[in-house]
């Protein structure tokens, strides 16, 4: 299938500084971003991590480059990890993240982002599938990590702290409070090394003559930079293989689309976790490539944790999901606070509700726009022109991206006709890690089928109609029914279970479990308590309904569509 220029009406919406084609690619590999920023803006603050009490630490672009060199040297020369080795990071937003991520890229390894809130068995499943060689994990969850290692051993474990790279006094104070007052730091009952020790070992290797730039001298941009785990378009958790080219091009596509609206004078609030592909590519990589200031919040819950950030820093950009913006609108401290620097607010990860966008514009006085993407596309596919606000659409394709709607036979449908969204562009993944069967389900040559049903209007703006897949989207995070059902049917007293998504206000959707029980005394709360032992919080069914039986097809397959009503 081909999409001709005549079928790209969105190009007419490109105006001013917006460019429809990336003209220059200044980076070969992702690690080059850190190197180039250190050369261009060495002393400018790159990242700041702010705790709820206002204590903070910062790293300049020069420091990020220097420390990530040391981590790369540690991985390459101390651990002797060959190119392509998978290194996982399981930590909340903090200053260790850019050091580790850029270090992994500079070492020619592949970064595996893992949700730090995963329960032991969830994390172990990723460890096993990705065959990780090393894990960087927050010390607060050392006990959970130990349970994962019991199932899937990991050879090298590097512990990081929440206040890593903070000045000495706040780092010590925060550490003491976490360990002795709040009892938040469990003993690490497994062999490990602390990040500062790892950096010292890397520094020693460099002192003996190791040149970090030599490590990736022969590496090609087509090498896998990240394994980003997702349920994707088929509902089975798997690693999307994103290359250096995929991610670098997506960074440049966004920058060419934005023009001067993103500059090194900007400060972006990063409340979304960096392990999520949206924050990883937009907040971390894109704003770093522009030498902007990225402010990291380890945990935005409760939302009062963000208060000090708005008080201390001239926030000009906010990215988030609908629930974040809706939550801020219900915080008196936020709605009564002036926001003189705020200019762009971007919603993604889940549908932006019209009521939230309208109220945001009225109270905050800044448009709240929406974009669209998926993990398999690095992730950005469409955006509304920055600053244009909400119009009910996901916007227009970004530079060098073809988007169309197709029928079941992969034929393009006319404007206004619903069809499955198909995407082609340099940001599209190469496939799913070790899953050619799953890759074949979604790839049609250079095109990827998203599983989302959409329409395109005459001007080239796209609107999502519905999702074909069974995936449940809770505040921007994927919940896969099969995974939850697998946990439920292991519970004593449960005979059968099915999980679907149901509307749930600001969160968008919530998992609802339908259960056939063998124990009449089994309660909904007992079911949720059991699930909390095995699943991350947002995957736990919010609603539980007991039934005598579940609807099934002729071959005995449970019909989820009948349960949605």
CATH number of the domain enclosing 518: 3.30.300.30
For 393, list phi and psi in degrees, rounded to 5. -115, 170
Q: Are residues 97 and 188 in the same domain?
A: yes
Domain boundary among 414, 441, 467: 467
The reply to whether 409 falls in a domain is yes
The reply to whether 199 falls in a domain is yes
Contacts of residue 141, defined as CB under 8 A and 6 or more positions apart, other chains included, come to 90, 116
Q: In this predicted structure, what is the pLDDT of residue 3?
A: 58
The reply to whether 129 falls in a domain is yes
Q: Are residues 91 and 206 in the same domain?
A: yes
The reply to whether 280 falls in a domain is no
The pTM score is 0.88
Q: In this predicted structure, what is the pLDDT of residue 555?
A: 46
| Residues facing residue 58 across a β-bridge | 48
**CA dist 455 to 2, 394, 410, Å?**
18, 10, 15
Domain boundary among 467, 499, 515: 467
Q: Are residues 428 and 446 in the same domain?
A: yes
The reply to whether 360 falls in a domain is no
- Report d(CA 415, CA 348) in Å as an integer: 24
Q: Are strands 443-444 and 447-456 parallel, antiparallel or unpaired?
A: antiparallel
Alpha-carbon dihedral of residues 471, 472, 473, 478, nearest 10 degrees? -60
Helix (H, G, I), strand (E, B) or coil at 115: coil
Q: Where are the beta strands (DSSP E) in 414-479?
A: 419-424, 431-432, 443-444, 447-456, 462-467, 472-474, 477-479
The reply to whether 206 falls in a domain is yes
Q: Are residues 415 and 549 in the same domain?
A: no
Q: Per the structure block, which two tokens stand in for 378?
A: 């690095």
Q: In this predicted structure, what is the pLDDT of residue 507?
A: 85
Q: Are residues 449 and 502 in the same domain?
A: no
Q: Are residues 420 and 536 in the same domain?
A: no
**77 in Cβ contact with 202 (< 8 Å):** yes
List the alpha helices (DSSP H) in 9-160.
31-40, 61-73, 96-106, 120-130, 142-151
Long-range contacts for 530-535 (Cβ within 8 Å, ≥24 apart)? 530/487, 530/488, 530/491, 531/484, 531/487, 531/488, 533/119, 534/119, 534/121, 534/487, 535/119, 535/122, 535/483, 535/484, 535/487
CATH of the domain at 208: 3.40.50.980
The reply to whether 293 falls in a domain is no
Q: Are residues 113 and 211 in the same domain?
A: yes
Q: Are residues 441 and 499 in the same domain?
A: no
Q: Are residues 198 and 118 in the same domain?
A: yes
**171 in Cβ contact with 101 (< 8 Å):** no
Per-residue pLDDT of the chain (565 residues; tens, 9 = 90+): 655 555 799 999 998 899 999 999 999 999 999 999 999 999 999 999 999 999 999 999 999 999 999 999 999 999 999 999 999 999 999 999 999 999 999 999 999 999 998 999 999 999 999 999 999 999 999 999 999 999 999 999 999 999 999 999 999 999 999 988 999 999 999 999 999 999 999 999 999 999 999 999 999 999 999 999 986 656 667 999 999 999 999 999 999 999 999 999 999 999 999 999 999 999 999 999 999 999 999 999 899 999 999 999 999 999 998 888 989 999 999 999 999 999 999 998 877 878 889 999 999 999 999 999 999 999 999 999 988 888 889 999 999 999 999 998 999 999 999 889 999 999 999 999 999 999 999 999 999 999 988 999 999 999 987 666 677 889 988 788 878 988 998 999 998 899 999 999 888 999 999 999 999 999 999 999 999 999 999 999 999 999 999 898 554 567 888 898 7
Domain boundary among 435, 467, 499: 467
Domain that holds residue 446: 5-11+401-467
Q: Alpha carbon 424 to chain centroid distance?
A: 21
CATH of the domain at 419: 2.30.38.10
Q: Are residues 478 and 547 in the same domain?
A: yes
3-state helix, strand, coil in the chain (%, to 5): 35, 25, 40
Q: Are residues 437 and 542 in the same domain?
A: no
The reply to whether 90 falls in a domain is yes
- Report d(CA 375, CA 240) in Å as an integer: 7
- What's the structural domain count of the chain? 3
Q: Are residues 424 and 480 in the same domain?
A: no
Of residues 220, 248, 224, 30, the one with CA closest to residue 130:
224
């Amino acid at each position: 299938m081909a999409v001709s220029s005549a079928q790209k009406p969105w190009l007419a919406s490109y105006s001013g500084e917006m460019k429809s084609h990336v003209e220059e690619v200044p980076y070969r590999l992702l690690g080059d971003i850190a190197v180039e920023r250190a050369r261009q803006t060495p002393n400018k603050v790159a990242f700041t991590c702010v705790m709820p009490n206002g204590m903070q630490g910062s790293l300049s672009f020069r420091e990020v480059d220097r420390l990530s060199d040391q981590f790369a040297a540690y991985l390459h020369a101390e651990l002797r990890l060959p190119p392509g080795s998978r290194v996982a990071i399981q930590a909340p937003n903090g200053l260790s993240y850019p050091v580790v991520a850029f270090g992994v890229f500079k070492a020619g390894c592949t970064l595996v982002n893992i949700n730090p809130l995963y329960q032991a068995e969830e994390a172990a499943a990723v460890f096993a599938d990705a065959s990780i060689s090393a894990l960087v994990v927050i010390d607060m969850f050392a006990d959970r990590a130990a349970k994962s290692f019991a199932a899937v051993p990991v050879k090298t474990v590097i512990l990081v702290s929440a206040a890593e790279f903070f000045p000495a006094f706040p780092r010590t104070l925060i550490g003491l409070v976490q360990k002795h007052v709040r009892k938040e730091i469990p003993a690490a009952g497994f062999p490990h090394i602390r990040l500062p020790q790892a950096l010292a070992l890397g520094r020693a290797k460099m002192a003996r003559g190791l040149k970090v730039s030599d490590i990736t001298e022969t590496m090609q941009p087509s090498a896998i930079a990240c394994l980003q785990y997702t349920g994707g378009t088929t509902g089975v958790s798997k690693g999307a293989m994103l290359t250096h080219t995929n991610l670098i091009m997506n960074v440049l596509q966004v920058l060419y689309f934005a023009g001067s609206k993103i500059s090194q004078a900007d400060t972006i609030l990063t409340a979304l976790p960096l392990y999520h592909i949206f924050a990883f590519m937009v907040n971390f990589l894109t704003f770093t490539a522009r030498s902007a200031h990225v402010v990291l919040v380890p945990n935005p819950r409760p939302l009062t944790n963000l208060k000090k950030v708005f008080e201390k820093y001239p926030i000009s950009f906010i990215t988030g999901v609908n629930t974040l913006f809706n939550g801020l609108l219900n915080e008196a401290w936020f709605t009564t606070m002036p926001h003189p620097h705020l200019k762009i607010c971007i919603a993604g990860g889940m549908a932006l509700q019209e009521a939230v966008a309208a109220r945001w514009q009225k109270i905050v006085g800044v448009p709240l726009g929406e974009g669209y993407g998926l993990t398999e596309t690095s992730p950005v596919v469409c955006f509304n022109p920055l600053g244009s606000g909400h119009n009910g659409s996901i916007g227009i394709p970004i530079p060098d991206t073809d988007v169309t709607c197709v029928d079941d036979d992969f034929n393009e449908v006319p404007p206004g006709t619903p069809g499955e969204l198909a995407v082609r562009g340099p940001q599209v993944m190469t496939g799913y890690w070790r899953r050619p069967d799953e890759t074949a389900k979604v790839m049609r040559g250079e095109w990827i089928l998203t599983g989302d049903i959409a329409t395109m209007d005459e001007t080239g703006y796209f609107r999502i109609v519905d999702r074909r897949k069974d995936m449940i989207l809770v505040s921007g995070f994927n919940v896969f029914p099969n995974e939850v059902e697998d946990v439920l049917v292991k519970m004593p007293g449960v005979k059968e279970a099915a999980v679907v998504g149901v509307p749930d206000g600001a969160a968008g959707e919530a998992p609802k479990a339908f259960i056939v029980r063998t124990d009449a005394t089994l309660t909904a709360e007992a079911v949720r308590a059991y699930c909390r032992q095995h699943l991350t919080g947002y995957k736990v069914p919010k609603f539980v309904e007991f039934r005598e039986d579940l609807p099934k097809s002729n071959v005995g397959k449970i019909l989820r569509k009948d349960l949605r009503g």
